[in-house]
Chains A and B, each alone.
Chain A
Amino acid sequence: MNPNEAPRTRIRVGFNKLGPIRFISHRDLARIWERALRRSGLPVAQTEGFSPRAKLHFGLALATGYESDAEYLDVDFSVADMASHSVLDALQGTLPDGIGVIGAVLLDRSSTSLQQAVTCCDWDIELLDVASVDLGKWVEQVRAAATLMVTRERKGQQIISDLAPQVRALEVGEPTSRGVRLLATLGTQPRACRPTELLTAQEPHYRPVLVRRTRQWIEQDGARLEPLEVGAAPALHTGAGVQ
């Protein structure tokens, strides 16, 4: 049998990215996953052509320097039934410090890609030297604003857009040892709104000291699900320890 025609199974893996490793880029992360999956010995499907690569589908890229509790990766496997493989066990010890697997789920063949499916993300944004009271006022202003016009540059062109519809939720969080937290839910369609854009949407402009993505959400038919909740048969095929 030509292995390239092998049946495909797609599994979604959830993981976090915490600590110093937050400074690696999205490309670096892809290489780390390729090596980890090779070490796992799992039957990962390969692309065809001269230079075969593992078939990996990443979700929304996380900016270099950001932490995350909720990153996702869809992996294609070259077998029809993954029942005999424990994905979580196989990945044990293959990932560097700071990247931990939080769960895995078998996907429907018809599942939409992470990029398309995810509609908003929760963010935990730590700001230095900002008083909670001042941040509270800033939050009120943002919430009250009818429009939040921001300008960004793309391919040498100035693009002006309104962030207001993208800001789904916004509140002041707990103070930290160095400052205060801003909690936000920001839309990702048709283009992901970045936390740094939000912080420049209203005077004064803030600069974050640490940004963490805490949740990604898929909204469908009025329900809000996390990416590991949309699987066809959660946990069943992915070994012990999956919720």
Chain B
Amino acid sequence: MMSLWPELELVLPEVSKPARYIGGEGGMVRPTHHRSKVAWLLTYPDTYEIGIPNQGLQILYEILNEREDAVAERAYAPWVDMEQQMRSLGLPLFSVDTHMRASDFDVLAFNLSAELVYTNVLNCIDLAGAPVLAAERSSQDLLIGAGGHCTYNPEPLADFVDFFVLGDGEEVVSEINAVIRDWKRAGKRSRHEVLRALATIAGVYVPSLYEVTYEGEALVSVVPKFDDVPAVVEKRTIADLAAWPYPKNQLVPLTEAVHDRLNVEVFRGCTRGCRFCQAGMITRPVRERPVDQVRTMIADGLARTGYDEVALTSLSTADFSGIEEVVSSTINGCGDASASSVVGGNKGAHAQGTNPAPVAVSLPSLRVDAFTVGLAAQIQKARRTGLTFAPEAGSWRMRRVINKLIGEDDLYGAVESAFSQGWRRMKLYFLTGLPTETDEDTLAIGELARNCVELGRKHTQNPSVTVSLGGFVPKPFTPFQWFGQNTVSELQRKVFLLRDSIKRNRGVQMKWHDPKASLAEGIASRGDRRIGRVIYEVWQQGGTFQEWSEHFEYDRWVQAMERHGLSVDWYVYRHRTQDEVLPWDHLSAGLHKDFLWQDWRDALDEVGLEDCRWTPCYDCGACTGYSIEHIVASAVPPAGGSQGTGPPAVTFEPQSAVAVQLAGVGSKAGL
């Protein structure tokens, strides 16, 4: 097990951003490998600077390295120039921690957070020196695992990955480790044997142990080949976030990365019920972290890392019961000696009566309402340059369909409040191509943006509103999983329709996501096992980094579909029927299929659904199925207008329940 560093250091002067490959982060572990320990190479299939802040990967890194019978290191997809160097010199994928070759590990485990990285997964397996097709791997080859949100439809990667993990990884990773440890200690005899053993762990799906049957284009069934393999694989859910205060030693990169700040997860799960949002559906129920633990994690984290910014992460951070308390103690902790115990990032500074550096708080994914703007104002005491809101749809009708229930009053109230408090720029996130969307709905986005600019004129000379438009891609385990995605040309038409309608409006700008990329995402999002051939072919033709617009090649995807006789129309554009077997029907996120179907019908009827954490249970299945419950400190919804807080006498009262982002926060979080 030799370090590849002597070879790598000769290559690094030739590539862009060489610091991507050196490791050495604060919090990094240099584990001692041993034949009695399972060696994991946790791999993020995108560049270092995108992958390093991934919290899931960091949590598993710590949990595994705390174990006596495991070691974990990390790898990231090498950028194209580095890959070229590696391939020409015969250098394999390597860990950044100790620069060991991937083949010196037992498991190559991927985090899958977006479909367009799938070709990178294949590329990393290949660079690691293992056969890309699972069926061709021998018992001495790496075991290939994957976790993350995309594993809720793992079928497109079923031919390449040995095992998938559904849901929270904190507990199950140790169970998997135990199985692989025993297999390794017994001499890694049969690959089939270890896969059979893995399949008996709740939350673990081993695709090669299932038989898939088709009838023409239609998928008929995915059934286990053996009695001890579960017919339905259930996701894993940790009951209490408080039991898992990870990461304890967040990695501090030496070079520039996205989200380069302390990240503290304040809750997991979301029951706002936005119907397009897969994350909200598959991570239920809501499990809040106790306020005291959040404060401790912030204090310890700042002291250890030296960061001057902390992000309180979740799917809707303004919904956290302790949000005001945590925000004010973090901000005021810096300037107030009496509260210096809260913010340890400036240890010693208070005692010396000096001027400590302030700590900034960022809140990705907030709602759109006055309460939220108030929070933002508290945080951004100075430099109020830009705020980001995600109303997702322009008309109230459309927002009812997607269950993003923000009323006009709340929306414009938030906007007015923001401009009046000194913000000058606003970014608004929208989706187009949503179910039942008419041109009127699309054009309402422009209307909304114009109204925001008008409100801004009352307070500032040159208010600016940027509309950011994404094409909607239906996702598994959401009420919209049956919806036929808009065609590329339809999405393009809508984008241009909106662009033309706001072209002459001063103060309104527009950006949009490439509808062609949405198609490729759609192919993988709801594809079955046959889509694996397409991914394989796009990869073989050099199609890596497909989520990077400069590398995305639309024609490759479309041509690969054609060559394998797979219809884009059938896979992407077609509405599914209630009785259709979906490629992920043998997996479960806890959600009852009839709950999702009913929610889909409600969407078409423009009926909203309130947040169940403060209202009676709808029995979606996420709690009842696993005998767990919401853990929410506050029994009442947050103040300031939000879904579920309307007058009870009315059947449904529009209230706001919209994600907001502060400027500077990653663009994906709010979508």
Which range holds the interface residue count of chain A? 35 or more
Closest to B99 in A: A20
Q: Are B24 and A4 in contact (CB under 8 A)?
A: no
Q: Which of A20, A50, A64, A78 contacts B383 (CB 8 A)?
A: A50
Stretch at the interface among A34-42, A103-111, A149-157, A187-195: A34-42
The B1-38 residues at the A interface (CB cut-off 8 A) are: 5, 9-10, 12-13, 18-19, 21-26
Closest to B359 in A: A38
Pick the 10 closest A-B CB pairs, nearest first: A41-B348, A35-B306, A3-B355, A43-B354, A50-B383, A50-B382, A39-B306, A23-B18, A20-B22, A38-B306
Q: Which of B12, B21, B303, B358 contacts A39 (CB 8 A)?
A: B303
* B347 interfacial by beta-carbon distance below 8 Å: yes
Residues on A with C-beta less than 8 A from B26 are: 96
Residues on A with C-beta less than 8 A from B307 are: 35, 38
Residue interface bits A206-220, CB-to-B below 8 A is 1, else 0: 000100000000000
Q: Which of A28, A34, A43 contacts B254 (CB 8 A)?
A: A28
Known: A23-B18, A34-B308, A41-B348; 7 extra A-B contacts, CB below 8 A, are A20-B24, A23-B19, A35-B252, A38-B308, A38-B345, A42-B349, A51-B383
Q: Are B355 and A4 in contact (CB under 8 A)?
A: yes
Number of interface residues of B (CB under 8 A): 36
Closest to B335 in A: A3
* A24 interfacial by beta-carbon distance below 8 Å: yes
A41 and B354 alpha carbons, distance in the complex (Å): 10
Determine how close the nearest CB of chain A comes to the CB of B302; give it in whole angstroms: 8
* B258 interfacial by beta-carbon distance below 8 Å: no
Residues on B with C-beta less than 8 A from A130 are: none
* B255 interfacial by beta-carbon distance below 8 Å: yes
* B325 interfacial by beta-carbon distance below 8 Å: no
A41 and B22 alpha carbons, distance in the complex (Å): 28
* B643 interfacial by beta-carbon distance below 8 Å: no
Closest to A43 in B: B354
Closest to A32 in B: B254
* B174 interfacial by beta-carbon distance below 8 Å: no
A96 and B495 alpha carbons, distance in the complex (Å): 48
Q: Are B346 and A38 in contact (CB under 8 A)?
A: yes
Residues on B with C-beta less than 8 A from A24 are: 19, 22, 254-255
Residues on A with C-beta less than 8 A from B175 are: none
Main secondary structure of the interface of B (DSSP, over half): loop
A21-B254, A28-B254, A97-B24 known; A52 and B18 CB under 8 Å? no
Q: Which of B9, B260, B346, B354 contacts A20 (CB 8 A)?
A: B9
Interfacial residues, chain B to chain A (CB-CB below 8 A): 5, 9-10, 12-13, 18-19, 21-26, 252, 254-256, 260, 303-308, 345-349, 352, 354-355, 357-358, 382-383
Determine how close the nearest CB of chain A comes to the CB of B219; give it in whole angstroms: 48
Determine how close the nearest CB of chain B comes to the CB of A142; give it in whole angstroms: 23
Q: Are A41 and B349 in contact (CB under 8 A)?
A: yes
A98 and B9 alpha carbons, distance in the complex (Å): 15
Q: Are B358 and A52 in contact (CB under 8 A)?
A: yes
A41-B348, A41-B349, A51-B382 known; A23 and B357 CB under 8 Å? no
Q: Which of A3, A32, A38, A97 contacts B354 (CB 8 A)?
A: A3
Closest to A27 in B: B256
Residues on B with C-beta less than 8 A from A27 are: 256
A38-B345, A65-B12, A97-B24 known; A46 and B255 CB under 8 Å? no
Closest to B96 in A: A20
A96 and B251 alpha carbons, distance in the complex (Å): 12
Residues on B with C-beta less than 8 A from A21 are: 22, 24, 254
Residues on A with C-beta less than 8 A from B305 are: 35, 39
Q: Are B24 and A43 in contact (CB under 8 A)?
A: no
A28-B255, A34-B306, A97-B24 known; A45 and B13 CB under 8 Å? no
Q: Are B354 and A28 in contact (CB under 8 A)?
A: no
* A25 interfacial by beta-carbon distance below 8 Å: yes
Closest to B20 in A: A23
A3 and B308 alpha carbons, distance in the complex (Å): 19
